[in-house]
């Protein structure tokens, strides 16, 4: 007699296998409506560029007390899984009447026709848990993206990225579209960024989804991705800045080369004033007379030397200039004439 199995629980994989063409996605627990037995179904995804035809895995199911209920191998045969497709969710790998708390899956071999890729020696990488969104933010994001089940915060890591539906896409998949909910990573980032703008404080503005998140400090809460927020509105009353004391700039006067610096005023007593005024008055008080300014010193104008000095060599040079050209011309003509006579009459 056939029995219907209804979904009871579903848990996504918290690790992935680097470099593998297929990834373990989630485990689903079903319960029979007649017998009450639990069936374990595993879901996988083809993240390669070729069609997969078979997959061999090793799984281990544990009960409530941590005791291993089943540990065995399972083979998915006669597959035609295209790139990006999910498979395995309709095949039960284990059925038991006891409650199951955890399932561990290891990829062994994956086939593409006659070609096989061995995955036993690849070390699995544990993934960080996705972060839940606030209920009101989840509803707003679902309404904006016209999708359901967007309850996680999108995050980007060095080895892949999390979608808002909770699906992890490793770097090997090389896609910006979620194969499970159909969301575009860029549009999802922009939508969530817009929703967070009014409430985001200015001191937490940081860039987001398309760059790998840096590891947080040990003491701080780990936040791989922070969304850029808008700048807050200006306060009603401006904050008064403290008074800053700035020293006045000091200007150094430049000396005037034309105007000589005046000497300080000299004070002359009565005895010194007598020859200046022509009248000696002993009872007069001391008068202040400004000092005389010395006349500016003028540079003497350069004297041009127009005198010509005769040199004894000028006469010799003049004679050479006069007689060397004609003598040279005569010698050249004589040589040419001798050569002509020699070639005409002697030879």
Angstrom distance (rounded) from CA 153 to CA 150: 8
What's the pLDDT at 76? Answer: 95
Distance separating alpha carbons of residues 216 and 219, to the nearest angstrom: 8
DSSP 150-166: --B--EEETTEEE-TTS
| Residue 171, pLDDT score | 87
Q: Looking at residue 52, what is its pLDDT?
A: 94
Instruction: Report mean pLDDT in 10-residue bins for the chain, 347 residues.
Output: 79 88 92 87 93 94 88 93 91 88 92 91 87 90 89 87 88 86 87 76 48 43 39 43 42 47 49 48 47 57 50 70 87 89 78
For the whole prediction, is pTM greater than 0.85?
A: no
Rounded CA-CA distance 116/65 in Å is 38
Q: Which domains does the chain have, with CATH numbers?
A: 5-126 (2.60.40), 135-196 (no CATH)
Written as six digits, the tokens of 222 are: 């780990």
Residue 196: predicted pLDDT: 84
Q: What backbone phi and psi angles, to 5 degrees, belong to 188? A: -65, -40
Contact 77, 71 (CB under 8 A): no
Q: What does the pLDDT read at residue 162?
A: 87
C-beta of residue 60 within 8 angstroms of C-beta of residue 68: yes
pLDDT score recorded for residue 192: 86
Nearest residue to 131 via CA among 161, 160, 164, 159? 164
Kindly write down the DSSP assignment for every residue of 177-228, as one continuous string: B-TTT--BHHHHHHHHHHHHTTT--GGG----TTSPPPPPPTTSPP-S----
């Amino acid at each position: 007699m056939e029995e219907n199995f209804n979904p009871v629980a579903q848990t996504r994989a918290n690790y992935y296998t680097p470099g593998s063409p297929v990834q373990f996605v989630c485990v689903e627990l079903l319960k029979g409506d007649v017998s009450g037995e639990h069936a374990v179904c595993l879901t996988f995804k083809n993240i390669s560029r070729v069609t997969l035809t078979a997959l061999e895995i090793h799984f281990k199911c544990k009960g409530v007390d941590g005791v291993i209920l089943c540990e065995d191998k399972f083979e998915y045969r006669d597959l035609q899984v295209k790139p990006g497709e999910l498979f395995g969710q309709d095949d039960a790998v284990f059925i038991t009447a006891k409650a199951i708390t955890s399932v561990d899956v290891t990829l062994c071999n994956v086939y593409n026709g006659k070609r096989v890729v061995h995955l036993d020696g690849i070390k699995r990488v544990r993934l960080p848990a996705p972060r839940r969104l606030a209920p009101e933010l989840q509803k707003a994001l679902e309404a904006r993206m016209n999708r359901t089940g967007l309850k996680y915060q999108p995050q980007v890591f060095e080895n892949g990225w999390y979608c808002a539906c909770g699906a992890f896409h490793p770097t090997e998949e090389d896609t910006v579209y979620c194969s499970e909910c159909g969301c575009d990573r860029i549009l999802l980032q922009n939508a969530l960024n817009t929703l967070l703008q009014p409430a985001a404080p200015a001191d937490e503005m940081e860039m987001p989804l398309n760059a790998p998140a840096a590891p947080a400090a040990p003491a701080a809460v780990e936040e791989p991705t922070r969304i850029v927020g808008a700048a807050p509105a200006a306060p009603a009353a401006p904050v008064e800045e403290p008074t800053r004391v700035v020293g006045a700039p000091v200007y150094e006067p430049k000396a005037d080369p034309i105007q000589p610096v005046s000497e300080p005023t000299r004070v002359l007593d009565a005895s010194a004033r007598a020859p200046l005024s022509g009248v000696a008055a002993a009872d007069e008080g001391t008068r202040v007379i400004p000092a005389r300014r010395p006349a500016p010193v003028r540079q003497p104008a350069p004297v041009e030397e127009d005198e010509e000095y005769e040199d004894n060599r000028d006469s010799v040079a003049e004679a050479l200039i006069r007689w060397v050209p004609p003598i040279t011309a005569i010698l050249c003509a004589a040589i040419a004439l001798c050569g002509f006579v020699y070639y005409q009459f002697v030879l």
